[in-house]
Structures are given as C-alpha cells and as structure tokens.
Structure 1
C-alpha cells in the first residue's frame, strides 16, 4: 500500500480518538468513562464502513500527572453501544495483562 495512504488512514484514526474527527463521529457525544482497578477506561468507538470500530483510552493518575494509553482493535460492531462495551472488555484485559507497563 502507498505510504501516503497509510499515513492518511492513521491520521484519521488518531483524529477520531482525540476528538478532532469530522463527519458523523464528531457530532456524537463521548461515552462515559468507568473506573477499573485504579484506572479510568474511556470507550471511544467511531464510525467505520457502516459499523463502529473498537477503540478507547486507558488513563491513570500518577504523582507526576495523568498518563494515557490509546488503543484501537480490528473488531467492528453494528452499534456504538456494542463497540463501547467491547472496548471496555478489551481495556480490562489490557490492564489485567500489562498493568502500568502500558504507559512505558
């Protein structure tokens, strides 16, 4: 695949995760964050090809400030709520398997 095409795809994904997306995803309110084992999980699914892409942010407060880990998974879902629920499940799995190493 052309490098410029891949760069464009990643810029679009990053923009959606950081709230700068355009189109239908930019008009939807963010999903509510949940607390899990001292971490905050913010599901952030976004519209992709008629479905919703699994994505989210894991945050944790440290003495030095808040750190975050953004993730995107290949799974898509028919509804934003389903994608959000799956993002929460994946975030919990990431936390259970890696803990604070996700911020390294």
Structure 2
C-alpha cells in the first residue's frame, strides 16, 4: 500500500471478476467502511443492472466477496429479472 493510500484511506483492491449464475453476471464490489467491508455487488443481465447493497459487514474483502455472491444468487433465485 502506498504512503498516500495509507494517509487518505484509499484501498488498492483489484476489481473482482464477474461470476455467472443463471445467465446473470454477479460482480462483488465490497464497500470499505473503517476496518470492515459492507456487502455490495452489481447484478447484470441483458444490458440492465441492479446494485445490491446490504447492511451486513464483514472483516475481510474476501469474506465480503463470498457473501456478496451468495446473497446475489439468493436474490436472483427469488426475484429473477423482476429485480430490474
């Protein structure tokens, strides 16, 4: 982590690769809040997108990625294309 990133709190996390599920692309985008990460993801299909944000916070970016993918799959199973 660079000195400027440490001073200004910018994280250097790489963008996550999308995960395909039932024809939807799920891209985890955890939001850093202090020392934890808020669960967040983009769900896309056919040029439409939905930004999924939940109150859940997790201690690591990896845990937030995994939880975002699982939550997005649940939303897709429950709502499908109606989420758009």
Relative to the length of structure 1, the TM-score reads: 0.70
- TM-score normalised by length of structure 2: 0.85
**Following the alignment from structure 1 to structure 2, what is the Cα–Cα distance between the partners of residues 46 and 59?**
18
1:102 and 2:77 aligned: no
Number of equivalences? 77
Shift of 1:23: 4.1
**Structure 1 regions of 5+ residues with no counterpart?**
1-21
1:37 is matched with: 22
Q: Which runs of 5+ in 2 are unaligned?
A: 1-7
Paired position in structure 2 for 1:54:
39
**CA offsets per residue over residues 75-100 of structure 1, 9 Å max, x none?**
11111010010000000000000000
Which string of whole-angstrom CA distances, capped at 9 and with x for unpartnered residues, describes residues 41-62 of structure 1? 000002112101100000002x
The structure where helix makes up a greater share of residues is 1
- Structure-2 residue corresponding to 1:19: none
Structure 1 segments, 4+ long, off by >4 Å, are none
> Which secondary structure does the structure 2 equivalent of 1:56 belong to?
strand
Alignment partner of 1:101: what SS? helix
